[in-house]
């Protein structure tokens, strides 16, 4: 069962179109899996649409040159029916395991997989400067050394599970962390995550310089 969701403010920014593509995709993916957040997004979208319609209507009323017949003619001038293109399922393979991706990732360019230990990562090419978006696989028994974050980090479980000192996370969980959080995620059964980060990890145990390659790999 999904226990971790985007905060209301983040969902509101998503509905208002104020988020970068990476975070918007994360919320869209989570909503595919979470009826609760999907319902909340639908309600907020209806509210925004209603306000925008009312504003537009009042603006038209204030226009002395408004011609209702012309407006109706413009709306009804074509009887063409728009059908959105059907998207085939898109999948990725990490270490001989195939994962079907969420619809929100169907049209995104995903780079080749790179590996370090029991971690595999493919970049998602969104060209958002310091914001890096990836698919990250942890093989069974894999994990990331204890760390905190210099910026923010979104981790969204697409398949499998992992756990840290705060509990177990499962498919659909939306985990947003920053410098105030410290954790050591381990996946006993293996997992695939959608990750977004805008700065490197900061390791809190061991000799940090020895862990820098892992931090650069994940970020």
Which domains can be identified in the chain, with CATH numbers?
8-76 (no CATH), 91-218 (2.60.120.10)
Q: Does pLDDT of 179 surpass 90? A: no
Q: How far apart are CA 148 and CA 164, in angstroms?
A: 13
- Confidence at residue 153, expressed as pLDDT on a 0 to 100 scale: 92
pTM: 0.81
Q: Does pLDDT of 219 surpass 90? A: no
Using 50, 70 and 90 to split pLDDT, how confident is the model at 157? very high
Tokens of 16: 């208002």
Q: How far apart are CA 62 and CA 57, in angstroms?
A: 9
Which of 147, 136, 156, 159 lies closest to 200, judged by CA? 147
Residues in a beta bridge with 176:
154
Using 50, 70 and 90 to split pLDDT, how confident is the model at 42? very high
Scanning the structure block, which residue is given the tokens 């603006």? 59
Q: Name the CA dihedral angle for 149, 8, 160, 20, rounded to a multiple of 10 degrees.
A: -60
- Confidence at residue 44, expressed as pLDDT on a 0 to 100 scale: 95
Using 50, 70 and 90 to split pLDDT, how confident is the model at 60? low
Identify which has the larger pLDDT, 94 or 64.
94
Give the percent of the chain with pLDDT over 70: 80
Average predicted confidence (pLDDT) for the chain: 85
Using 50, 70 and 90 to split pLDDT, how confident is the model at 189? very high
* pLDDT, mean of residues 44-60: 71
- Confidence at residue 100, expressed as pLDDT on a 0 to 100 scale: 96
Using 50, 70 and 90 to split pLDDT, how confident is the model at 61? low
Using 50, 70 and 90 to split pLDDT, how confident is the model at 2? very high
- Confidence at residue 183, expressed as pLDDT on a 0 to 100 scale: 82
pLDDT in tens, 106-130: 999 999 999 999 999 999 999 999 9
């Amino acid at each position: 069962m999904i226990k971790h969701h985007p905060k209301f403010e983040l969902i509101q920014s998503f509905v208002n179109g104020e988020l970068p593509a990476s975070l918007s995709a994360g919320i869209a993916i989570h909503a595919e899996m979470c009826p609760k957040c999907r319902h909340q997004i639908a309600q907020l979208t209806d509210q925004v649409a209603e306000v925008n319609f009312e504003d537009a209507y009042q603006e038209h009323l204030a226009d002395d040159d408004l011609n209702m017949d012309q407006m109706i003619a413009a709306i009804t001038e074509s009887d063409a029916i728009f059908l959105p293109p059907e998207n085939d399922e898109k999948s990725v393979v990490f270490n001989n395991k195939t994962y079907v991706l969420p619809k929100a990732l169907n049209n995104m360019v995903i780079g080749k997989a790179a590996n370090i230990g029991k971690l595999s990562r493919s970049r998602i090419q969104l060209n958002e400067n310091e914001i890096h978006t990836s698919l990250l696989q942890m093989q069974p028994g894999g994990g990331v050394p204890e760390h905190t974050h210099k910026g923010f980090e979104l981790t969204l479980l697409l398949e499998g599970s992992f756990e840290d000192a705060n509990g177990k996370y499962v498919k659909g969980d939306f985990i947003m962390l920053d410098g105030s959080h410290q954790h050591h995620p381990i996946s006993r059964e293996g997992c695939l995550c959608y990750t977004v980060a805008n700065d490197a990890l900061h390791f809190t145990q061991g000799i940090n310089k020895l862990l820098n390659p892992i931090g650069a790999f994940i970020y």
